[in-house]
Amino acid sequence: MKVRIDKAACVGNARCWAVSPELFPLDDDGYILVEEVEVPAGMEDLARRGVRACPERVMQIMEDDNSQ
Ligand code: SF4
């Protein structure tokens, strides 16, 4: 699973980071640092929570093709 992030639309409120600083690193100004996150095994639920926590909806879950 990956998370795609529209960095340009981030408003820097750090809601994602509050869920998981490891999955959603921020820059010094509090904006998301990465455009894509490869979610480690076992952290899928945390990733989904972080994506839901973003009030700007700038993040999107990309499920693996073979995950059915
Ligand atoms: S929750 Fe969304 S808007 Fe806020 S820092 Fe994270 S990606 Fe940016």
**Domain assignment of residue 56, yes or no:** yes
**Domain assignment of residue 67, yes or no:** no
User: What is the per-residue pLDDT across 31-43, written as a single tens digit (0 to 9) for each?
Assistant: 999 999 999 999 9
Residue 64's pLDDT is 86
User: What is the per-residue pLDDT across 6-59, written as a single tens digit (0 to 9) for each?
Assistant: 999 999 999 999 999 999 999 999 999 999 999 999 999 999 999 999 999 999
Residue 13 near residue 1 (C-beta atoms within 8 A): no
CA of 33 to the centre of ligand 1 (A): 10
DSSP letter (8 states) at residue 19: H
What residue type is assigned to position 50 of the chain? G
Verdict on whether the full-model pTM lies above 0.85? yes
**Domain assignment of residue 68, yes or no:** no
Residue 65's pLDDT is 76
**Domain assignment of residue 17, yes or no:** yes
Domain holding 23: CATH number?
3.30.70.20
User: Which domain covers residue 43, as residue numbers?
Assistant: 2-62
- Best of 7, 16, 22 to mutate for ligand 1, by most ligand atoms within 8 A of CB? 16
Q: What distance in Å separates the CA atoms of residue 65 and residue 33, rounded to the nearest whole number?
A: 26
**Domain assignment of residue 50, yes or no:** yes
Beta bridge partners of 2: 38, 62
Residue 66's pLDDT is 65
Number of domains in the chain: 1
